[in-house]
A and B are shown apart, each in its own frame.
Chain A
């Protein structure tokens, strides 16, 4: 440990309670000037609470914050910004209809005669800031037109524009595609060279290892460890985060090769109204008990592929077969009744209705199947709550009661509700997209276990994920999509991350069969 005076930030005995629940208990933290300090922990471990305290959004119940050895008491984020602490939130706080420059200078625009905004000076300032950090951004671009990665860079610049010495990034990679993640990590190492100190929150171990000088692990609101990153393994960090050894789930029954496909797409083509091809003669087939992983950089047709299979998007040509039956023209409901389940990529967009209850989200189209409708079309209240309570228990949905609005659950528990609903029907085929996006290690393990168990039970599974590690952990075969086409299907046994990565970039058109 280096000298006390090099400490940019020091927290002593910080505690925070929300009602009955202790979010943070007596946390100490020391951040050296000029380091990249990663805070790891599962969802609900208190990472964001801790960072919100440092950034002046929340006030601690107990404990002290010292910056450069001097105690500070922030009353709001502007106060914290004045002391050189800037935070980039997971959900961006930008005005979508304004330009990059306008967002950078929001609330502090240069002015003519103290009244009229000096747009030329604002634009020049924004351009200088962008050039100084070599971010590729157009100062005049409207935020709404930027990609998620670009928006994040605007947020980072906004913090830097306030001269932040300590930059806090709250799960910055959760919303990014793999190439954007690589760019972000590069930006962070540049900022470090430029002398900024960075606090980086994540629950992804790979990232933590790549970027960190120091790694602090939080669990259940307490600090478990703070250690230099060098010499630590991912398993060490995982052990601290979860508090127990992880057992990766595995298949019990291998897929039966050569079976007739349960789910098949043949020559499926989908175009936009303007004629651009989103899916270009895509063909895939999945056998009984098989998991076909679809890899690819986000936006190469994977979303369209899952929605075409589920019946949510119109296709212009091609056919979709379920257990040998042509379902191309069938409605979503008819396909679901025929044994197709769908776990969409965004649980709050398509997966759930956040304001409706756990019970209503879980039962959505199961009322008749589970005999929950009584005479006269009225729901049988007792049967509904018995079914819902049993399912909550079976899928270990923590914090859920039948009448709670589902939006009040944590991300992992929300995902469990979606999975429970889709698995309860015992589907013959399952389309699942980004099943563990935003989930922590424990929840990911559970979700992977459920998917593998469904395959063991004979379900044909189409798995779309932008996490290559997930594709490799679950799939029997791996298909790679590029610009709406399947550029290759490879057996998992012979695939390597390198070969798949190359295909994802579009460099290889066809590799093996």
Chain B
């Protein structure tokens, strides 16, 4: 047992070293281009904690990364390469907005719940479609989810510029959601949506489901060796469709939280590619829900910190893109162990 604990610790420390190395290399780059590298780095990493409102913005970025990351983990563990989180997120956001706008007179908890359920259902169905296409017709899920992203983006663009459009606002935004359907803020943190709390609590729950239930074992069996899963009587097709529906539902929930708790309306450009970053943090966490808490937090930290860095110094926020590239590179490095060749 001790041995497995140590090896787990070692595998958890791997990403930590990678992050540290990337920060060092990043600092060297900032040193080369900036007149005030220390301030730039202090902003990037610590400005998030300078004020309650900065911290609230950090939490708001953490929420979609976590929910999308958890969804990605579920689908990847089931062996489905779901790259459609962005589309599922958009549909969830627009469906929640539409529901809240269509039912303005419902009492508070009911209206809010209806909007949340609409968002989850829209994302869920949108995740289920490529799952069903894969299982029933053999359509490759990468192609399916990628193409559905475009459909979702164009569909929401139509909705937000026509039926849902706010006639008095500038840009592609919907009418403001009635405050009866707003999601509560975290007490004492103005601007921070309580959706983040739900997202953080879901991480250990997803871990339990994946690693401590029969369903989770079946899901991972289907994902790691489909023919084995079939042989021991797992209905893998059904399992894959359910996993995709939950995965899409989580992305949809992120969209609903965003519309109801942060934007209070649907904005066409609300996502700085949350879908893609959510996928990245899930992969960096090696598809582990608890590891995701760390990778998503780190990403939310530098995504948000980069904004302050750009304001205060001459370092552009595209530094984050560079750090991301370095980090992915670092995480794919594996030390060679030649002594492990078998007998």
Contacts and interface: CB of A to CB of B under 8 A. Distances in A.
B212 A379 contact: yes
A354 interface: yes
Interface string A371-382: 001000111010
Contact of A312 (B231, B341, B343): B231
B342 interface: yes
Interface string B202-244: 0000001000111101001100110111111111000000000
A355 interface: yes
A90 B181 CA distance: 66
B220 A373 contact: no
A332 B231 contact: yes
A349 B224 CA distance: 11
B69 to A, nearest CB: 21
B231 A378 contact: no
Contacts of B227: 349-350
A353 B225 contact: yes
Nearest to A348: B225
Interface in A334-352: 335-337, 342, 344, 349-352
A360 interface: yes
Contact of A360 (B215, B217, B231, B341): B217
Contact of B231 (A18, A337, A342, A368): A342
Interface string B62-88: 000000000000000000000000000
Given A23-B343, A49-B343, A350-B227, A333 B214 contact: no
Contacts of A7: none
Nearest to A373: B214
Residue among B225, B228, B234 with the highest chain A CB neighbour number at 10 A: B228
A52 interface: yes
Contacts of A363: 217
Interface residues of B, number: 24
A333 B339 contact: no
Contact of B235 (A23, A333, A378): A333
B51 interface: no
Given A312-B231, A351-B228, A381 B212 contact: yes
A355 B220 CA distance: 10
A438 B171 CA distance: 68
Nearest to B339: A18
Contacts of A312: 230-231
A379 B228 CA distance: 21
A354 B227 CA distance: 12
Given A368-B214, A403-B4, A356 B230 contact: no
A23 to B, nearest CB: 5
Given A18-B343, A350-B227, A351-B231, 10 more contacts: A52-B341, A58-B341, A312-B230, A350-B231, A352-B225, A353-B229, A355-B225, A356-B224, A379-B214, A401-B4
Interface of A: 18-19, 23, 44, 46, 48-49, 52, 57-58, 310, 312, 331-333, 335-337, 342, 344, 349-356, 360, 363-365, 367-368, 373, 377-379, 381, 401, 403, 421
